[in-house]
Structure 1
Amino acid sequence: MDICEKHGKILEFFFQDEIQLCCSTCAIVNHRSCHSVEEVSEIGKLRRACSFLKRKLEEVQSKAEKVVNNIELSKEQLSLDIKAIFAEIKRMRDNVNKMFDDLEVYITRETDVFQAKVINKLTQKQSRCEKHIAVATKSLEVVDAALLNGTPSQKFIVAQKMKKQVNELHRNFDNDCQNLETATVSFKFNETIKLPPLPISINIPGKLTLNCISPEANKYIAPVDPIVKSTKIISIDLKQTGDDAKEPLYSGLDFLPDGRLVAVDNKNMKCLIYNEKLQEVGSFQLSYMPRGVVAVSEEEVAITSGSVYKIDFLYVSKSNDITLNRTFKVSTKNDSICLKDERHFVVGTYDDTRHVRIVSLSGEEKDFSINFPNKKYPGATSASTYIRNSDKVVLTDRYEHTVYIFDIKSNTRVVVKDDQIKEPRSVAVGPADCILVCSKETNSIVQISQTGQILSSYKLDIEYPCRVCVSKEKSIVAVTNTYAGNKKLQLFKLT
């Protein structure tokens, strides 16, 4: 290392200014003008030149070894972390399996007890009915013999002697028939599954319903109707703005699947979009006075109009741009509208005896096989909706203060009249398929079961509520009113 690479001579000099080692030839050829020159032999005597290099090298060596060790530990820890993920997945799988094993044991125990109880009750009833059959059969033989072979006197004597026995038999049988029950067992999973270790009451991923119902209720089996409570989230005033010809009147409301609210303004002929804070984020000018609106999909709504006999389909983008997609004609004046299934609407009419009709998404129309009230409803005096799970139509009669619930399968109806329902306007399907009705004169939302029972009534702080709709997940309800000069749009949370 002490030989000059260029001249092959011993490195004898060190030039401070250029921090360079040189041989005698380098010094003469390249550094004759330099003044800061020292002889290497003299510097070596005065300085411990390699000590600082050793310290630096040892420092680098130590730090590099630490880095290498750290990397090795990181690689090992990464491997352990990955193994831990699969171990956690296995633990979760074992817990889920245990949960379902516990569920099976729980369901078996509960259904066995219920089944034994019901079978015992049914066996007793069956035994009584078999006795009724035996007594009736024996008595029939006597009566038949008297009718075929007896003299008039004998027939009279038989009738008198057996009258009390037959009446008692008939009475006993009627009592048993009135107490007939059908046993049902159903199980519904909760929306979330909680993993053990948890108490079994929390651990069971669903609700077991054991129930006995009368034959009249066999058409639709549902859990006990829950009472819906409402908590106001937000309220805005509906006032005439610069581009409005009149004070707004929202004749139709519905929620898009993503939670945005669609409203149609009958007076100013608009379709509007609101976000969850009731901030207007989109608007579309219509050429007619709209009546009702329904969300058809994530980005499409359908709007009815009584005066122009058509249904419009509007495209509503995620960025709240609204355009007209298509239109088809209808033969009736349509007001309220909701989805029957993926291919059909249920529309409420006015000025027609066919109060509720079925319209396909391509425009074909047909009628329900329902015995509707034989009358015509003028505009804004009736509204309707459809309960898909139980195949029922709900119809309001504003000035009769009545709500009709029609069962399509049996062509029967329940008539609901109550002091809490005065001038019912709009109607919507709420949580657990309950019915929510806007009661205009009591300024409230009334909750009705499908059997016609009044479950609750929520007093509103607005006058003359007219339209109500419920979000797709049944957790938010929107309400608007018709009170001139103090119209509002409000959102409520349902629990």
Structure 2
Amino acid sequence: MASGGSSIYKGSDLIRDYNCSKCEEDDLNTEAQHFCPQCEHYLCDKCVGVHGVYFKKHTVYGRREIQMWSGFSLDKCDQHGDKLNVHCDDHKELCCSVCVALNHRLCSSISHLPDMARGFLKTKEFKQLPAAVDQMRSMLDELRNARMKDRASLRDSYKNLIAEIKDLRKEINKILDELEKNTVEQLDSLRKDLDQSSKDDLDTCAHMNDQLKTMVDKLQQITGKLKETNSYIGFIKCQTMLSKTNSMVQNIQKRPKEGMKFKSDESVTQFLRNLNNLGNVEIELSMSKTTDTVHVYKTESQSRFSVQIKKDGIQCNISGICELPSGEVVICDFINNRVKLLNQQYKIIDHNDLPASPWHMCYISGNEVAVAVNDYNVLYEVHFLTMTRGQLQAVRKFTTDYHISYIAHHQGQLYVCTENVLYRYTIDGQMKNKIYDSKSYLNTLSSCAVSPDGERIYVTKSSDHELVTLDKVGQVLYTFEDPELQTPTALCVSPSGHVFVCGFDSRIVLQVDREGRQKLATVVTGTVYPESVWFSEATSSLIVGGRDNNIIVVKLC
């Protein structure tokens, strides 16, 4: 039979709730972590290994399944196995004698369970318990069925994504096949030209060779009275042909030997080496309206971290912030024309210099970000950078026809903010359509962001002190104004849909509702003049940057 149970050893404060049956046979005091119902033995971590060697088919229960241990019942302590006899009123817990000895010695009020239970069977709460349990079991059944459907949907989604990946591979193969075809055609054309040149030389040599032989043969066949005169004429013609042939031979010999070689486009192989995969597999979140909870945040703490490096000529101006899935933070420094990579402790670990000022940046997917780079009347570009092994690397870029002040990304679409107009671009730089025009003579639009479902687009109109919410085709849904929101600049939308907008002149960050209709909270005050903001859901922190050598990390709760 199983032995064990709660034990208090004299002369020691060491208390064991269940003792290892095998260790007790050797007069050892070892706490049991497992129970085998077939053997009716309590086992420690060491003895359960030996037990598993000899009894491989026995089912062994651990501490998390203590209800399966021998002797479990409603009136026994789940943790220690002793009979429950008191209630700690301070902690609202049922306790056995071991519980009291270990955890409740200093509690002010402990009640005897029989006294508390007197007359309880007649109470409304007790009579309604079976119905409440049935309701909860129904909810569990519904949840179980829903999760089973989710698993089936996950399997289907996996198959569909595998098909998408294979289709992408086929498309890439087609592109590579076309590149190979074009390169081989170029090689064939060059070979044909070189071969024709060699053939022309061969034909010339053969022709002159034949001419020289013919002239010598005829010279040797001259007879008659005019033999001497005609021989002289033949001699002169032969000399002329020899001179001509010699000149031709020297010209051919002086020409460099022509051959062919292949020089690969290193940008192709380098681009492929920089890729970690064909795309990024991400978790797609879909939340029902019943669970779409809005959290209203408030500031818990605030810290400052320097983002200046020795190469920076003047004070930093942080115009864009992104966080990568692995926790690194990427920022762009408008004044010093560079992008900087920060580790999870906000220490700079790498940087990448740009040809002009980075006005803003947005997260794309994986470890890739896009940066809007502008030099008035000279250069308007979007640069794509990726983090590989803790370093920033330029991947590609495309050019636009106008200045870009802000940039956002959603499901392969880029939302590009100029001074007055919002455009939608493809990820490879093709302009699809104009979404919104502020129709203002002032440089009105200063930022844009997209809701996680893509149904709402937010833009700030700095000169009008407004946050405007658009639908996905650019129709105005709501316009938000607040006395605190002076000269709105940066804004961000978290993956769960929380919206934060910065007031530059008022030096604040507001949280607004998802429709952009009303203020929920003023989460940051008295910060630097904010020009960039990012909300990290992993750390529940706002990262704020502006005209300062430091970023502000605000812990929210």
Distance (Å, rounded) in 1 between the aligned partners of 2:408 and 2:481: 24
Q: Which has the larger radius of gyration?
A: 1
Per the alignment, residue 365 of structure 1 pairs with 431
Distance (Å, rounded) in 1 between the aligned partners of 2:467 and 2:52: 68
Distance (Å, rounded) in 2 between the aligned partners of 1:321 and 1:408: 36
TM-score by length of 1: 0.54
**Is the CA contact (8 Å cut-off) linking 1:405 and 1:450 kept in structure 2?**
no
**1:435 is matched with which residue: 483, 488, 499?**
499
Q: Which moved more, 1:81-90 or 1:309-318?
A: 81-90
Per the alignment, residue 478 of structure 2 pairs with 414
Per the alignment, residue 252 of structure 2 pairs with none
Alignment pair present for 1:346 and 2:415: yes
**Is the CA contact (8 Å cut-off) linking 2:298 and 2:556 kept in structure 1?**
yes
Shift of 1:335: 2.2
The unaligned stretches of length 5 or more in structure 2 are: 1-25, 27-45, 68-131, 143-282
**Is the CA contact (8 Å cut-off) linking 1:254 and 1:471 kept in structure 2?**
no
Alignment pair present for 1:476 and 2:541: yes
Per the alignment, residue 328 of structure 1 pairs with 398
- Residues 1:89 and 1:413: Cα distance change in structure 2 (over 3 Å): same
Distance (Å, rounded) in 1 between the aligned partners of 2:417 and 2:48: 72
Distance (Å, rounded) in 2 between the aligned partners of 1:208 and 1:465: 34
**Is the CA contact (8 Å cut-off) linking 1:446 and 1:456 kept in structure 2?**
yes
Shift of 1:106: 4.3
- Residues 1:366 and 1:74: Cα distance change in structure 2 (over 3 Å): closer
Distance (Å, rounded) in 2 between the aligned partners of 1:366 and 1:209: 32
Alignment pair present for 1:393 and 2:457: yes
Per the alignment, residue 360 of structure 2 pairs with 292
Per the alignment, residue 518 of structure 2 pairs with 453
Alignment pair present for 1:236 and 2:300: no
1:203-282 correspondence to structure 2 within 5 Å: 223=292, 225-232=294-301, 234-239=303-308, 241-282=309-350
Secondary structure in structure 1 of the residue aligned to 2:51: helix
User: Residues 43-71 of structure 1, C-alpha deviation per residue, up to 9 Å, x if partnerless?
Assistant: xxxxxxxxxxxxxxxxxxxxxxx9xxxx9
- Residues 1:208 and 1:291: Cα distance change in structure 2 (over 3 Å): closer
Per the alignment, residue 146 of structure 1 pairs with none
Secondary structure in structure 2 of the residue aligned to 1:415: strand
**Is the CA contact (8 Å cut-off) linking 2:443 and 2:463 kept in structure 1?**
no
Q: May I ask how many residue pairs the two structures share in their alignment?
A: 303
Shift of 1:399: 2.2
1:28-67 correspondence to structure 2 within 5 Å: none
- Residues 1:456 and 1:208: Cα distance change in structure 2 (over 3 Å): same
**Is the CA contact (8 Å cut-off) linking 2:488 and 2:502 kept in structure 1?**
yes
Alignment pair present for 1:76 and 2:51: yes
Distance (Å, rounded) in 2 between the aligned partners of 1:392 and 1:209: 16
**Is the CA contact (8 Å cut-off) linking 1:315 and 1:324 kept in structure 2?**
yes
Distance (Å, rounded) in 2 between the aligned partners of 1:107 and 1:323: 49
Secondary structure in structure 2 of the residue aligned to 1:433: coil
**Is the CA contact (8 Å cut-off) linking 2:468 and 2:476 kept in structure 1?**
no
Greater relative CO (CA pairs within 8 A, separation 6+): 1
Distance (Å, rounded) in 1 between the aligned partners of 2:48 and 2:297: 57
User: Residues 433-480 of structure 1, C-alpha deviation per residue, up to 9 Å, x if partnerless?
Assistant: 132011122221101113311100023342312210123658332101
**Is the CA contact (8 Å cut-off) linking 2:509 and 2:523 kept in structure 1?**
yes
- Residues 1:463 and 1:296: Cα distance change in structure 2 (over 3 Å): closer
Secondary structure in structure 2 of the residue aligned to 1:399: helix
Identity %, equivalent residues: 16
1:113-262 correspondence to structure 2 within 5 Å: 223=292, 225-232=294-301, 234-239=303-308, 241-262=309-330
Distance (Å, rounded) in 1 between the aligned partners of 2:415 and 2:133: 41
Distance (Å, rounded) in 1 between the aligned partners of 2:460 and 2:300: 25
**Is the CA contact (8 Å cut-off) linking 1:257 and 1:472 kept in structure 2?**
no
Per the alignment, residue 201 of structure 1 pairs with none
Per the alignment, residue 201 of structure 2 pairs with none
Secondary structure in structure 1 of the residue aligned to 2:429: coil
**Is the CA contact (8 Å cut-off) linking 1:234 and 1:278 kept in structure 2?**
no
User: Residues 401-436 of structure 1, C-alpha deviation per residue, up to 9 Å, x if partnerless?
Assistant: 111011226823211011121111100013741320
**1:312 is matched with which residue: 379, 383, 391?**
383
Alpha-carbon RMSD: 3.7
